[in-house]
Amino acid sequence: MAEPGLAPEIAHIRGACGHDCPDTCGWVVGVRDGVAQSLVGDPTHPFTRGTLCAKVNHYLERVYHPDRVLHPLKRVGAKGEGRFTRVTWNEALTDIAARWLAIADRHGAEAILPYSSAGVQGLIQQASLDMRLFGSMGCSALDRNICGAVASAGMAATLGVGSGIDPEAIVHSRFIVLWGTNTIVTNLHYWPLVRAARERGATVVVVDPVRTRTAEAADCHLAIRPGSDATLALAMMHVIVRDGLVDHDYVTQHAVGYDALVERVRDYAPAAVADAVGLAAEAIERFARAYATTQPSLLRPLIGLEHHRNGAMQFRTIACLPVLTGAWRHRGGGLARSTHALQFAALDMDAVLRPDVWTPGVRVLNMRDLGRDLCDTALAPPVQALMVYGANPAVTIPNQNRVLDGLRRDDLFTVVHDLFVTDTARFADYVLPATSQIEHLDLSPAWGHLYLALNRPAIPPRGESLCNTELFRRLAHALGRTEPWLFDRDDSMVRAALASGHPWLAGITYDRLWNDGFARLQAPADWRPFATGGFPTRSGKAELYSEPLREQGLDPLPAGNRPTGTGLQLISGKALHFLNSGYSHIERHRSRNGTLYIELHADDARTRGVVTGAVVRVWSDVGEVQAVCQVSDRVRPGVVWMPFGGLTDAGGAARSVNALTAEAPTDWGGGTGYYDTFVEVAPV
Ligand SMILES: Nc1nc2c(c(=O)[nH]1)N[C@H]1C(S)=C(S)[C@@H](COP(=O)(O)OP(=O)(O)OC[C@H]3O[C@@H](n4cnc5c(=O)[nH]c(N)nc54)[C@H](O)[C@@H]3O)O[C@H]1N2
Ligand SMILES: Nc1nc2c(c(=O)[nH]1)N[C@H]1C(S)=C(S)[C@@H](COP(=O)(O)OP(=O)(O)OC[C@H]3O[C@@H](n4cnc5c(=O)[nH]c(N)nc54)[C@H](O)[C@@H]3O)O[C@H]1N2
Ligand SMILES: [Mo]
């Protein structure tokens, strides 16, 4: 209690952003009387450096937004209508447990599908007690591969893993390729490191079909045709082999399949593939030579290459480049992608997820196919109950119309746990209130760097909201379960994860994180994972030729196989003021992106008779939306761009760009080719 007449003291509490983003920023929340007054980037966090982003600068508006769900809600209107009435937690939990038990009794527990993604990205709130509960019940499992899995699987075919070097080592690089990633928009806190490298003499090249903000800020932008990156990489290898730029010593010692690769790249002379790639042969020649002769050289891809039907092959192929040039030898050389695998290898994940209590052999459903599976009456057993948390599949999964048809099913019992009545929640039988990141405890392993943060709760849960772990403890209780591992406390799960004994966690204790907020994994200062080989592939070497791929009936060699279609190729990228579908219903953010729009090249606009500002019809094989037309020189002819997020379309319908995408599977890795969508555009 403060002295009378003095302002009550503000407490400053360290935490970390829980959004699905590579940056996982450290933040400091100023709290008075249980109310958050301020939230700023942690100035002591080396990656955050005291700044947040266009979204999280206004995070407290999200926390205190009038539309936040603060009590359990039960549906009273039709599915999709979004009419609910307030009920007690007891009523909601009792009914949900009874419905689940009845469904499991009648159809088997596999008729229950838990569906979650990285809406809250952290160790225990993202996945812990939920996995134990649903796993032990024998519910259907979910294959989560719309983000990162394809890239990892593709890279692993060449390198054995989906992770590369410590991204912070980029400051040592002299030639940086930001390959299918829009750093300034999606990975903002990485940009100062790119700039630092540049100040030390590095050249920055962006490979992206769209002239993004990042492309504009680079030394060179290669506006490639979408999906032709593997072809470009093979042409680069052609030049590298032809001009004697191969690090033979490295390749001989640490790679297999070099001769077969040389044979393969013969057909990929820059002049032969220039059209397919959409770049001039001389530009490819110059790029290849600069890349191979400037060391350390670093490739930095994130998601852009993965959301294609040939997504895994794109990653598998570009991962061959630093092997041929021996870039892995150098500090700051090689490839830097997600650090997810490094963080999770250090933590004791089995202690958190407890796979030992899961029912073996349960059905696995791919999140990409949610619409198809919900609509499939022949599925045995059919999905009768859906529990969505930390995800908004009505907006984010391909073929939105099919997802909505599935959610509309009268005999489907749907529960959604979220902070807001999302487009998915509008179809729920129960909407359960979730805490925001400043209301719960979590450990935050980042996928864009090697810092680990402890997110301390700064304020009590608002209203009757519950964090994910507490929700699953209560659901377990309502289901009549008593096993102690379904009721583990949040801090004990974090402590257990930190107690792995992994050398990179040496000295990183719960108490230290509680005081400092974050710690850097204890990777060696000059960590070069593959400087002397040691690739965790079957052969123990980098696999330029892959026997495991051949055994799966796939091309054992890198290949340029650009998916094609008729019409305009639609890229639907991340938006500056949204976090995937998040923030799009908040006016401040929405007004900055406006109504659904489409950018297209002047030539394509002319032949279709559409002009800037006009409302146009955009359709594909699976759906149609209305969008505001924006003639733009950011895209090349044949390519169009639309923002991804939960915008209403220009006709006022709650349709996102995923009304146009189809559930096209990737070559391997189980993902989907969001960006291999072909559309036509016409005046309304
Ligand atoms: N502001 C903001 N930040 C975010 C997010 C957000 O929604 N908003 N989402 C977060 C999430 S979940 C993720 S996974 C990351 C993703 O981060 P990024 O990978 O940077 O984001 P994307 O927009 O998916 O794709 C990056 C770029 O790939 C390009 N691209 C598409 N197809 C191709 C291709 O065939 N070849 C090449 N070379 N480029 C191609 C696109 O034009 C786009 O500019 O961002 C995270 N950060
Ligand atoms: N067309 C197109 N589609 C895409 C992409 C694209 O580039 N183009 N990108 C893809 C990518 S990379 C990704 S990662 C996916 C994202 O797909 P999703 O994960 O489905 O999307 P989000 O919008 O991030 O949804 C997260 C939800 O979690 C909620 N949430 C936040 N914190 C909590 C919490 O503590 N508890 C609970 N229960 N809920 C919480 C948020 O309010 C939000 O509604 O979309 C994919 N879809
Ligand atoms: Mo993602």
Pocket test for ligand 2, best of 70, 340, 392 (most atoms within 8 A of CB): 392
Taking CA atoms only, the protein residue closest to ligand 1 atom 32 is 304
Closest protein CA for atom 19 of ligand 2: 391
Q: How far is C-alpha 631 from the chain's CA centre?
A: 29
Q: Is the CB of 28 under 6 A from ligand 1?
A: no
In the prediction, which pLDDT does 6 show?
53
Please write down the HEC assignment for all residues of 134-175: HHHHCCCEEECCCCCHHHHHHHHHHHCCCCCCCHHHHHHCCE
CA of 302 to the centre of ligand 1 (A): 7
Mean pLDDT, the chain, rounded, equals 96
Helix (H, G, I), strand (E, B) or coil at 363: coil
Do residues 608 and 681 make contact, with C-beta atoms less than 8 angstroms apart? yes
- The closest alpha carbon to 572, from 617, 524, 635, 515, belongs to 635
- Ligand sitting nearest the alpha carbon of 317: 1
Q: Residues 142, 364: contact at Cβ < 8 Å?
A: yes
Q: What is the mean pLDDT of residues 625-636?
A: 96
% residues pLDDT > 90 (the chain): 93
635: nearest Cα among 610, 603, 593: 603
Q: Phi then psi for 266, rounded to 5 degrees?
A: -55, -40
Ligand 2 centroid to residue 116 C-alpha, Å: 9
* pLDDT higher than threshold 50 for residue 2: no
Per the structure block, which two tokens stand in for 98? 């009874």
Tens of pLDDT along 295-309? Answer: 999 999 999 999 999
Q: Which of 317, 357, 319 is nearest to 337 (CA)?
A: 319
Residue 1 pLDDT grade (very low, low, confident, very high; cuts 50, 70, 90): very low
Q: How many CB atoms lie within 10 A of CB 236?
A: 27
Burial, 191: exposed, middle or buried (Cβ in 10 Å; 0-12, 13-18, 19+)? middle
Name the residue at shortest CA distance from atom 2 of ligand 1: 186
Cβ-based neighbours of 163, under 8 Å, separated by 6 or more: 152, 337, 338, 339, 340, 341, 342, 529
Distance between CA atoms of 601 and 639, rounded to whole angstroms?
A: 8
| Residue 646 Cα to ligand 3 middle (Å) | 15
Structure token pair of residue 592: 């900055």
Is the CB of 574 within 6 Å of ligand 1? yes
Index of the ligand 1 atom closest to the CA of residue 307:
32
Summarize pLDDT for 273-284 with one digit per residue, the tens: 999 999 999 999
215 Cβ closer than 6 Å to some ligand 1 atom: no
User: Could you say which DSSP state residue 582 is in?
Assistant: B
Say if ligand 1 is within 6 A of residue 486 CB: no
Residue located nearest, by CA, to atom 18 of ligand 2: 391
- Does residue 455 contact residue 444 with C-beta atoms inside 8 Å? yes
* Tens of pLDDT, residues 41-58: 999 999 999 999 999 999
What is the rounded distance in angstroms from the CA atom of residue 80 to the CA atom of residue 70?
20
**Which ligand has its closest atom nearest to the C-alpha of 224?**
1
With bands split at pLDDT 50, 70 and 90, how would you rate the model's confidence at 71?
very high
Which strand (E) or helix (H) includes residue 271?
helix 270-277
Q: Which ligand 1 atom sits closest to the C-alpha of 308?
A: 35
Q: What single-letter DSSP state applies at residue 407?
A: H
Q: Which atom of ligand 2 is nearest to the CA of 573?
A: 7
Confidence of residue 649 (pLDDT cuts 50, 70, 90): confident
Pocket-testing residue among 186, 208, 228, 656, ligand 1, by greatest number of atoms within 8 A of Cβ: 186
Q: What is the DSSP string of 467-535?
A: -HHHHHHHHHHHTT---GGGS--HHHHHHHHHTT--GGGTT--HHHHHHHSEEE----TT--TTTT---
Nearest ligand 2 atom, CA 419: 42
Question: ∠ at Cα 297 (296, 299), nearest 5°?
Answer: 145
CA of 21 to the centre of ligand 3 (A): 7
The maximal CA–CA distance of the chain, rounded, in angstroms, is: 83
Closest C-alpha residue for ligand 1 atom 16:
303
Residue 7 has what pLDDT? 59
Residue 217 pLDDT grade (very low, low, confident, very high; cuts 50, 70, 90):
very high
CB 68 within 8 A of CB 341: no
Q: Is the pLDDT of residue 3 over 50?
A: no
Q: Which residues, 6+ apart, have CB-to-CB distance to 195 below 8 Å? A: none
pTM over 0.85: yes
682 CA distance to ligand 2 centroid (A)? Answer: 31
Pocket of ligand 2 (CB under 6 A): 20, 117-120, 125, 146-147, 303, 389-393, 396, 417-420, 422, 434-435, 468, 572-574, 579-582, 644, 657-658, 661, 674
Q: What confidence category does residue 526 fall into, taking pLDDT thresholds of 50, 70 and 90?
A: very high
Q: Which helix (H) or strand (E) holds 133?
A: helix 129-137
Q: Quick one: 297 exposed, middle or buried, by C-beta within 10 A (0-12, 13-18, 19+)? A: buried
Is residue 270 over pLDDT 50? yes
- Examine the pLDDT at 652 and tell me if it is beyond 80: no
Q: Give the Cα separation of 661 and 342 in Å (integer).
A: 32
Which domains, from first to last, does the chain contain? 73-144+344-440+461-520 (3.40.50.740), 149-337 (3.40.228.10), 568-683 (2.40.40.20)
| Whether the CB of 560 sits within 6 Å of ligand 1 | no
Ligand 1 atom closest to Cα of residue 20: 12
Tens-digit pLDDT profile for residues 184-212: 999 999 999 999 999 999 999 999 999 99
Return the residue whose CA atom lies nearest to atom 26 of ligand 1. Answer: 181
Please give the structure tokens belonging to residue 82.
Answer: 């979004």
What is the per-residue pLDDT across 136-195, written as a single tens digit (0 to 9) for each?
Answer: 999 999 999 999 999 999 999 999 999 999 999 999 999 999 999 999 999 999 999 999
Does the pLDDT at position 683 exceed 80?
Answer: yes
For 450, the 3-state DSSP assignment is coil
Please answer whether residues 622 and 658 qualify as being in contact, where contact means their C-beta atoms are separated by less than 8 angstroms. Answer: no
Ligand 2 atom at minimal distance to the Cα of residue 646: 23
* Alpha carbon of 186 to ligand 1 centroid (Å): 7
Q: Is 459 in the pocket of ligand 1 (CB under 6 A)?
A: no
- Give pLDDT, residue 8: 66
